[in-house]
Amino acid sequence: MSQNVICSINDLVANSGVCALINDEQVALFYLPNTEQKVYALANWDPLGKANVISRGMIGNIGEELVVASPLYKQHFSLTSGHCLEEEVSLRTYDVAIEGDFVVFNETVS
């Protein structure tokens, strides 16, 4: 396993999303300082709206699930699993964490 620094905490926006490039893939990073995990990462590609926009969605909860709503057609995706609540699609999730002042990506090398 290797750890890569993606950006600094200052690059994040609390309770909202930004987008980062990880290995040339667009990844949406959500910063929820009041939760245990604090930072969540999903693919930025919206397979339903067919555009790179997930990072610009609004976050919230539906029941127990933390979700982001796609800004295009408003489907909800789980921040933890990437599953879509309305349709049979999923977003890839990424293992990210906060280390000191930085956001890091834990890459499993297989």
Partner 1 sequence: MHPIQFLEDGVLKVGTLCAYSYLGRPHSFSIGNGLFSSNSSDVYFLTAAAASAAVLFFMVYDMKVVVVGNGMVGHHYVETLVKSDINADITIIGGETRPAYDRVHLSEVFDGKEPEDLAMCTRQQYKDWGVKAHFGDFVSKINRDAKHVVTEGGRTFDYDKLVLATGSYPFIPPIPGKELPHCLAYRTIDDLGEIKASAKGKKVGVVVGGGLLGLECANALKNLGLEAHVVEFAPGLMGVQLDEGGSNMLRRKIEALGVKVHTSKATQKIVEGDQHRLKMAFADESELETDMIVFSAGIRPYDQLARDADLKVGDRGGIEIDYQCKTSDENIFAIGECAVLGNFIYGLVAPGYRMAEAAVSQLNKSSDDKESFTGADMSTKLKLLGVEVGSIGDSKGMADESRAFVFSDERSDVYKRLNVSADGKKVLGATLVGDTADYDTLLQYYLNDIDLPNDPESLILPASDGEKPALGADALPLAATICSCHNVSKGDIIDSIDGGCVSVADVKGCTKAATGCGGCAALLKNVVDAELNARGVEVNTDICEHFEHTRQELFTIAQATQTKTFDEMIERHGKGMGCDICKPAVASIMASLWNEHVLDSDLVPLQDTNDTFMANMQKDGTYSVVPRVPGGEILPEQLIALGEVAKKYGLYSKITGGQRVDLFGAKMNDLPDIWKELIDAGMETGHAYAKSLRTVKSCVGSTWCRYGVQDSVGQAIDLENRYKGLRTPHKLKMAVSGCTRECAEAQSKDVGVIATENGWNLYVSGNGGMKPRHADLFATDLDTETLLKYIDRFLMFYVRTADRLQRTSVWLENLEGGLDYLREVIIDDSLGICDELETQMQHVVDTYQCEWKTAINDQEKLKRFRQFVNADKDDENVVFVEERGQIRPATEAEKKRSQFKAVG
Decide: is 50 part of the binding site for partner 1 (CB under 8 A). yes
Would the CA dihedral through 41, 45, 13, 64 be positive or negative? negative
Decide: is 92 part of the binding site for partner 1 (CB under 8 A). no
Cα–Cα distance between 75 and 80 in angstroms, integer? 15
Residue 81 contacts by C-beta under 8 Å, 6 or more apart in sequence? 90, 93
Q: Contact with partner 1 (CB under 8 A): which of 39, 67, 91, 96? A: 67
Residue 10 contacts by C-beta under 8 Å, 6 or more apart in sequence? 101
Cα–Cα distance between 18 and 56 in angstroms, integer? 7
x/- contact string, 7-46, with partner 1 (CB under 8 A)? x---xxxxxx-xxxx----x--x--x------------x-
Q: Contact with partner 1 (CB under 8 A): which of 43, 59, 96, 104? A: 59
Residue with smaller CB distance to partner 1, 63 or 100:
63
In the complex, the residues that contact partner 1 under the rule CB under 8 A are: 6-7, 11-16, 18-21, 26, 29, 32, 45, 49-53, 56-63, 66-67, 69, 71-72, 74, 76
